[in-house]
Amino acid sequence: MAKAMFGFLTVFFIHWTCADIVFDDASGYGRRFDGIGSLSGGGATSKLLINYPEKQRSEILDFLFKPNFGASLQILKVEIGGDIQSTDGTEASHMHYSWEENYERGYEWLLMKEAKKRNPSIKLYGLPWGFPGWVGEGSGSPYHNVLKTADYVVRWINGAKKIHNLTIDYVGIWNETPYNISYIKTLRKVLDGRGFQHTQIIASDNKWKIAEDMSNDKELKDIVYSIGVHYPGTQSPKQAQQLGKTLWSSEDYCQKNNETGGACWARILNRNYVNGHMTSTIAWDLIASYYTSLPGWGMGLMTAMEPWNGHYVVSPPIWTSAHTTQFTEIGWTYLKHGHGVGTLPQGGTYVGLTNPKRDQLTIVMETMTFEHSKCVLDAKTPFKVNPQNVTLSLGGKWSGVQEMNIWFTQLGFDEKPNIFFEKRSPLKFIKGKAEVFLDVNQIITLTTLDTGNKGAYPAPPPHIEFPLPYSDSFDSYNLYQEPYYLSQQIGSFEILAEGKNGFVRQMVTQMTIPWCKQADGIQKAYNVFGDIKWTDISVEFDFRIPSKNGSSGVFVAARTTKGGCSSAETSGIFFHALPHKFVLSTDIQRQHVVKSGDLSYGPGSWHNIALSVKGSLAKLIFDQTTVYFGSIPTWPTAGWAALGTDSYGLADFDNLKINSLM
Ligand SMILES: *[C@@H]1O[C@H](CO)[C@@H](O)[C@H](O)[C@H]1NC(C)=O
Ligand SMILES: *[C@@H]1O[C@H](CO)[C@@H](O)[C@H](O)[C@H]1NC(C)=O
Ligand SMILES: *[C@@H]1O[C@H](CO)[C@@H](O)[C@H](O)[C@H]1NC(C)=O
Ligand SMILES: *[C@@H]1O[C@H](CO)[C@@H](O)[C@H](O)[C@H]1NC(C)=O
Ligand SMILES: *[C@@H]1O[C@H](CO)[C@@H](O)[C@H](O)[C@H]1NC(C)=O
């Protein structure tokens, strides 16, 4: 009797509540939430943020890291610089050479410290994209001597601790390249041996293949803390789900930071768990602080690329992030699929998360449409989302909840206005139920937490282009810093000094273990600056080739068109100054020669080189003597200014001056 009645009730209940979304703990909990993060580097993506005016830089860092303010990121992943081109530039290695170590180079240290200052519980994650050549003992592989490579990486983790008091929580293998199991095991041993038992290994920052190896190799399975996959398209294979390990999307997003990027990010943040059981998602990249026209330009969570006046833009993905990060912490737990995690009846998804004490509940719902929420590297299977009314039903530990705070975003597609992260009046639950209307392209967070804040600062200075004239004597830097506006694409440039005279030195002397072989493989250092739209300019500087380990020459260029992995294919007007001749060419490799002629200089002393381009004319001046004044091809018509070396090898640069001839 009782049984029959129960049966009846169950049928009735299921029928009546068919549009109900239930949030309860009836069958336990889902996986632990491991945090939402972003990636600085991979590469050189934070380049222009560093010399922002202090006030604006601090504001930007607040939008990224400060809890209850903006994106409030929970993980900061950074590149372990390797002197190699890693997408938008190169980041310096902590060991250009086997005999030295330096933890003052680059800008990732500063970013990590600023992030920690704002949020002491943010997790830090380091990953190499490539390595200096010596690490592979000339073999070109970091797995040639796995102990040497592990030593190199663990030194970086040790430097973080000893010099910067930064604890590195996670370390990866080699970005988007094959892993080597004996290397992973060696890395674990070296970490343990040097007191870094707490630093966990994420592998392999590529696709899912390692799940297979982990299921066949218990030692490997035990030492890999989390499988970190790039651009999983929100899906994970059953084999990975059944391993009993956490699954992360350790690089994802990759979209312009307009509304489309905001929508892409909202969709994957939910769906990586709903579809793929992934408990952490990390965006490439943290901040669009690299020159326009470099690869993937504008794909940071926000934009800051005008250090000369401090202009920045707080972009939609900042508020998309806030919907999850401001109402969760690492260590919270997802609810179970079907009990607070799933797909909405008319499309879109929802995830419920609860704190370790289980007395707080956060629900994030997204209704992104297929058309408007594409990420660049996504699976492109279409799906439908319609406006809908849904009944939310709270059960178990949360059955007594009477109201939840609402945070609302409407992305402004199809003539709707943008509304970002707005607090609405709380949603009342009557007998554990409430109805909500969800239109398309919305994000709605419901939470029992009373925290949450849409941070704001007065408008930053307005947008302006790179101002000319520009000059830099490199005397006002700290040693080992990167020259601010010089966006290094091949090679590694840093400030050194003799007495009070600061200058820039190109440091790479040997072929690297590259990530973009097509760029680094030409073994010529290349550094772009200014504005891709520059046409008629003059660029001048002093240079010196050291007598030991010097490069085979230097160049100055205007109208250069390409960076990133395509650096070797750049066009431009190149004035190459070699010890016995000059070459005027339209390429970095001196293959498309316009003119060449005599020149003579020796190593060890400073010389001056100047290039002016105006319309179809160029003037080349070496040590105050004009070596060419004549016509040049009219293509390319515009591009960055650039400098560099004719081969790997040391070269010094000083007193850079750029003028407009427009
Ligand atoms: C991994 O590295 C070890 C040590 O250098 C080497 O013996 C082995 O062949 C490598 N494995 C693969 C699959 O490359
Ligand atoms: C290092 O950081 C920890 C927090 O992670 C802090 O407690 C400690 O005071 C710091 N030490 C120094 C020397 O700054
Ligand atoms: C955002 O930028 C991408 C890439 O330029 C473009 O395809 C997309 O249409 C833009 N979205 C909006 C809403 O402007
Ligand atoms: C949602 O409910 C409201 C009021 O109950 C109704 O006016 C509206 O048509 C419903 N919308 C949809 C898409 O069902
Ligand atoms: C410079 O060259 C010398 C001799 O070939 C070599 O021993 C040294 O390692 C080189 N230094 C650098 C920085 O490459």
Query: pLDDT, tens digit, for every residue of 551-607?
Result: 999 999 999 999 999 999 999 999 999 999 999 999 999 999 999 999 999 999 999
Q: Is the CB of 437 under 6 A from ligand 4?
A: yes
- For 209-215, which contacts have Cβ atoms below 8 Å and span 24 or more sequence positions? 210/179, 211/237, 211/239, 211/240, 211/243, 212/239, 213/181, 214/243, 214/245, 215/239, 215/243
pLDDT attached to residue 394: 98
The answer to whether residue 282 scores a pLDDT higher than 80 is yes
pLDDT attached to residue 14: 38
Q: What is the mean pLDDT of residues 82-105?
A: 98
Ligand 3 atom at shortest distance from the alpha carbon of 258: 1
Find, among 338, 334, 321, 282, the residue nearest to 407 by Cα: 321
Q: Which of 176, 329, 403, 569 is catalytic?
A: 176
CA 42, 44, 45, 49 torsion: positive or negative? positive
Contact 269, 246 (CB under 8 A): no
- Residue identifier of the C-alpha nearest atom 12 of ligand 4: 388
User: Do 174 and 244 have their domain in common?
Assistant: yes
Find, among 67, 594, 258, 23, the residue nearest to 585 by Cα: 594
- Residue identifier of the C-alpha nearest atom 14 of ligand 5: 509
User: Do 323 and 309 have their domain in common?
Assistant: yes
User: Do 391 and 408 have their domain in common?
Assistant: yes
Residue 362, helix vs strand vs coil: strand
User: Do 103 and 138 have their domain in common?
Assistant: yes
Q: Is 2 exposed, middle or buried (0-12, 13-18, 19+ CB in 10 A)?
A: exposed
User: Which one of 18, 389, 390, 435 would you pick to mutate in the ligand 4 pocket, going by the greatest count of ligand atoms within 8 A of its CB?
Assistant: 389
pLDDT attached to residue 19: 65
Which residues, listed in sequence order, are joined to residue 22 by a DSSP beta bridge? 393
**Cα–Cα distance measured from residue 662 to residue 660, given in angstroms and rounded to the nearest whole number:** 5
Residue 221: phi and psi, rounded to 5, are -60, -40
User: Do 20 and 43 have their domain in common?
Assistant: no
Q: Which of 91, 114, 251, 366 is catalytic?
A: 251
Distance 549 CA to ligand 5 centre (A): 6
pLDDT attached to residue 380: 81
User: Which one of 95, 505, 509, 510 would you pick to mutate in the ligand 5 pocket, going by the greatest count of ligand atoms within 8 A of its CB?
Assistant: 509
Check if 251 is active-site.
yes
> pLDDT tens digit string along 266-280?
999 999 999 999 999
Domains identified in the chain, total number = 3
- Residue identifier of the C-alpha nearest atom 9 of ligand 3: 260
pLDDT attached to residue 1: 29
Distance 260 CA to ligand 3 centre (A): 6
The answer to whether residue 17 scores a pLDDT higher than 90 is no
Ligand 3 atom at shortest distance from the alpha carbon of 413: 13
* Cβ partners under 8 Å of residue 15, min gap 6: none
User: Do 146 and 238 have their domain in common?
Assistant: yes
Find, among 640, 556, 4, the residue nearest to 290 by Cα: 640
> pLDDT tens digit string along 49-65?
999 999 999 999 999 99
Of the listed ligands, the closest to the CA of 136 is 1
Distance 574 CA to ligand 5 centre (A): 29
Does residue 464 lie in a domain region? no
pLDDT attached to residue 379: 73
Of the listed ligands, the closest to the CA of 505 is 5
3-state class percentages of the chain: helix first, strand second, coil last, to nearest 5: 20, 35, 45
Place of tokens 């994000």: 443
Contact 560, 527 (CB under 8 A): no
**Cα–Cα distance measured from residue 515 to residue 517, given in angstroms and rounded to the nearest whole number:** 6
Does residue 237 lie in a domain region? yes
Min mean pLDDT across 64-78, 234-248, 367-381, 417-431 is at 367-381
**Cα–Cα distance measured from residue 543 to residue 649, given in angstroms and rounded to the nearest whole number:** 13
Does residue 479 lie in a domain region? yes
User: Which one of 384, 385, 435, 437 would you pick to mutate in the ligand 4 pocket, going by the greatest count of ligand atoms within 8 A of its CB?
Assistant: 437
Is the preceding peptide bond at 232 cis, omega within 30 degrees of 0? no
**Cα–Cα distance measured from residue 320 to residue 325, given in angstroms and rounded to the nearest whole number:** 9
Residue type for position 545: I
Q: Beginning with the edge strand found earlier in the chain, give each strand of the sheet holding 311-313 in spatial order.
A: 287-288, 302-306, 311-313
pTM across the whole model: 0.97
Contact 646, 552 (CB under 8 A): yes
Distance 17 CA to ligand 5 centre (A): 75
Does residue 454 lie in a domain region? no
Ligand 3 atom at shortest distance from the alpha carbon of 412: 13
Residue 503, helix vs strand vs coil: strand
Residue type for position 574: F
> pLDDT tens digit string along 113-155?
999 999 999 999 999 999 999 999 999 999 999 999 999 999 9
Q: What is the CATH number of the domain that holds 236?
A: 3.20.20.80
Distance 380 CA to ligand 3 centre (A): 16
Of the listed ligands, the closest to the CA of 168 is 2
User: Do 88 and 196 have their domain in common?
Assistant: yes
Q: How many CB atoms lie within 10 A of CB 338?
A: 13
Q: What is the CATH number of the domain that holds 582?
A: 2.60.120.560
The answer to whether residue 15 scores a pLDDT higher than 60 is no
Which residues, listed in sequence order, are joined to residue 442 by a DSSP beta bridge? 410
Of the listed ligands, the closest to the CA of 369 is 3
User: Do 634 and 493 have their domain in common?
Assistant: yes
Last residue of a domain, one of 306, 332, 358: 332
**Cα–Cα distance measured from residue 57 to residue 144, given in angstroms and rounded to the nearest whole number:** 41
pLDDT attached to residue 175: 98
Distance 177 CA to ligand 3 centre (A): 30
User: Do 423 and 304 have their domain in common?
Assistant: no
- Residue identifier of the C-alpha nearest atom 14 of ligand 1: 180
Find, among 268, 139, 123, 128, the residue nearest to 187 by Cα: 128
User: Do 211 and 248 have their domain in common?
Assistant: yes
Q: Beginning with the edge strand found earlier in the chain, give each strand of the sheet holding 640-645 in spatial order.
A: 487-490, 526-529, 640-645, 554-560, 571-578, 581-587, 593-598
- Sequential DSSP letters for 147-181: HHHHHHHHHHHHHHHHHH-----EE-SSTTS---H
Q: Is the CB of 471 under 6 A from ligand 4?
A: no
Distance 415 CA to ligand 3 centre (A): 15
User: Do 548 and 560 have their domain in common?
Assistant: yes
pLDDT attached to residue 8: 38
For residue 6, what pLDDT band results from cuts at 50, 70 and 90?
very low
The answer to whether residue 10 scores a pLDDT higher than 90 is no
CA 178, 108, 456, 332 torsion: positive or negative? positive
Ligand 5 atom at shortest distance from the alpha carbon of 507: 13
Of the listed ligands, the closest to the CA of 163 is 2
pLDDT attached to residue 437: 97
User: Do 131 and 235 have their domain in common?
Assistant: yes
Q: What is the CA radius of gyration of the chain?
A: 27
Distance 409 CA to ligand 2 centre (A): 38
Residue 537, helix vs strand vs coil: strand
Does residue 455 lie in a domain region? no
Which regions of 521-631 does DSSP assign to beta strands (E)? 526-529, 537-544, 554-560, 571-578, 581-587, 593-598, 607-614, 617-622, 625-631
For residue 531, what pLDDT band results from cuts at 50, 70 and 90?
very high
> pLDDT tens digit string along 167-212?
999 999 999 999 999 999 999 999 999 999 999 999 999 999 999 9
- Sequential DSSP letters for 255-277: S-TTHHHHHHHHHHHHHHHHTT-
Q: What is the mean pLDDT of residues 77-93?
A: 98
* Alpha-carbon separation of residue 176 from 208, 223, 491 (angstroms): 11, 20, 21
Q: What is the mean pLDDT of residues 314-338?
A: 98
Pocket of ligand 1 (CB under 6 A): 143-144, 146, 180, 182-183
Of the listed ligands, the closest to the CA of 167 is 2
Does residue 465 lie in a domain region? no
Residue 646, helix vs strand vs coil: coil
Last residue of a domain, one of 397, 432, 447: 447
The answer to whether residue 16 scores a pLDDT higher than 60 is no
The answer to whether residue 9 scores a pLDDT higher than 80 is no
Last residue of a domain, one of 280, 302, 332: 332
For residue 378, what pLDDT band results from cuts at 50, 70 and 90?
confident
- Residue identifier of the C-alpha nearest atom 5 of ligand 1: 144
- Residue identifier of the C-alpha nearest atom 4 of ligand 3: 256
Q: Is the CB of 549 under 6 A from ligand 5?
A: yes
pLDDT attached to residue 64: 99
Pocket of ligand 3 (CB under 6 A): 256, 258-260
**Cα–Cα distance measured from residue 313 to residue 358, given in angstroms and rounded to the nearest whole number:** 37
**Cα–Cα distance measured from residue 592 to residue 514, given in angstroms and rounded to the nearest whole number:** 26
For residue 11, what pLDDT band results from cuts at 50, 70 and 90?
very low
**Cα–Cα distance measured from residue 121 to residue 158, given in angstroms and rounded to the nearest whole number:** 19
Does residue 90 lie in a domain region? yes
**Cα–Cα distance measured from residue 42 to residue 107, given in angstroms and rounded to the nearest whole number:** 13
Residues spanned by the domain of 342: 2-29+336-447
- For 132-140, which contacts have Cβ atoms below 8 Å and span 24 or more sequence positions? 132/82, 132/83, 132/93, 132/95, 132/96, 132/97, 132/508, 132/510, 132/512, 132/513, 133/510, 133/511, 133/512, 133/513, 134/97, 134/98, 134/510, 135/95, 135/513, 136/513, 138/510, 140/511, 140/513
**Cα–Cα distance measured from residue 636 to residue 559, given in angstroms and rounded to the nearest whole number:** 6
Q: Is the CB of 630 under 6 A from ligand 4?
A: no
Distance 89 CA to ligand 1 centre (A): 29
Distance 246 CA to ligand 1 centre (A): 26
Structural tokens at position 643: 């400098």
